[in-house]
Amino acid sequence: MATDPMAGLRKTQLMMSITERAVRAWRLGEWALLHQVRPDGSSAPPDPRPFMPDRGSSLAFDDLDFTPDLGKNPVTSTARYPVMTAAENLVGAAQAHSASLQEGRTNVVSLGSLCRCAIEGAAKTVWLLAPTVRTERRARCRGFIQSERQPQQSFLRIEARVLAKRQSDGLPADLPNFQRHRDEYDERQVLISALPKSERTKPPSNSSDIVSWSAKWIDANPPAHASDELPLGMELGADRFYSIGSSFVHGFKWMTDYIRDDEATLKVVAEGFAAAVVMTECAVCLFEAQATNAARAAVRRANYPDWLAPTVAAWLPRYQ
């Protein structure tokens, strides 16, 4: 059988592409964990204060006097959490990639699963923050919190059984704390449900639809820092990998029909990392653009990766 003399070069290029995005993932992870990165590349201890929205910024006004019963800074905290989880998943993917290099193998399932989770988490932040109208961003915040009702209800039912079992076995069971959380959960749901539907916009019920919506938005608003990284466009790139990644996350074997050799495996990993990193970076850019007061942009310390600055600067004016 004839060998392809260029196969080795292509595989090397794919490995270099994956490694470059893995490096970018680490920097996003420091942003997620509230670590300022010093000029020498070391990280300061976590401190949330420098990461808070500026006074007079879009996010600060979103939070101002907005549904106080939902807690402090509801829009900011609701929008930041999904992209924080996305960045942490990317860090995990980068660590898995590093381990695979040392061990001489490719961890396609772990990398694919983590990148798919990152795409989904980052897409939720994009969906929450993309609208330029404040009332719509606030409505999406309420609707997003309301949409958590079903998964949280499932947890509450299971946790009640766990605590009952612990109590019957004579083990410690913090029932008062559990009841407090359940009461707070019920109060939030009642509060939001009482509002007109126009003031609470739920996200699409299917996560793949959130990914598609956010990817389309990115295609319509190309990020200056990554405009040439997805030749198929963000929508096709994200949708394709989110579909591929389902086989890794849910244990479906159909994907094995498409991964027959090392090069095919590396292509899947490279495409997944590209889509996940760009989606996460765009979510960070949206957050930072809305956390910055344009009048103070020159003095606000940029805690996000410096390569994102052109996109943050381009998106900043639309949210002032």
- Rounded to whole angstroms, the Cα distance separating 199 from 194 reads 10
Handedness of CA 123, 129, 132, 138 (dihedral sign): positive
Question: pLDDT by residue (tens digit) across 57-103?
Answer: 999 999 998 887 788 899 999 999 999 999 999 999 989 888 877 77
Query: Taking CA 205 as the corner, what is the angle to CA 200 and CA 208, rounded to the nearest 5 degrees?
Result: 125
At 81 the three-state DSSP class reads helix
The residues that bridge with 43 in the sheet, in sequence order, are: 37
Give the pLDDT confidence score for residue 277 in this predicted structure.
95
Q: Alpha carbon 299 to chain centroid distance?
A: 27
Average pLDDT, rounded, for the chain: 89
Task: State the pLDDT confidence band at 3, using cuts at 50, 70 and 90.
Answer: low
What is the Rg, in whole angstroms, of the alpha carbon atoms belonging to the chain? Answer: 21
Look at the pTM and tell me if it is higher than 0.75: yes
Task: State the pLDDT confidence band at 1, using cuts at 50, 70 and 90.
Answer: very low
- Rounded to whole angstroms, the Cα distance separating 39 from 240 reads 37
Q: Alpha carbon 12 to chain centroid distance?
A: 29
pLDDT at 203 > cutoff 70: yes
Question: pLDDT by residue (tens digit) across 235-278?
Answer: 999 999 999 889 889 998 888 888 777 777 788 888 888 999 99
Question: pLDDT by residue (tens digit) across 140-174?
Answer: 999 999 998 888 888 889 988 998 898 888 888 78
The residues that bridge with 37 in the sheet, in sequence order, are: 43
pLDDT at 8 > cutoff 80: no
Whether 119 and 91 have beta carbons less than 8 Å apart is answered as: no
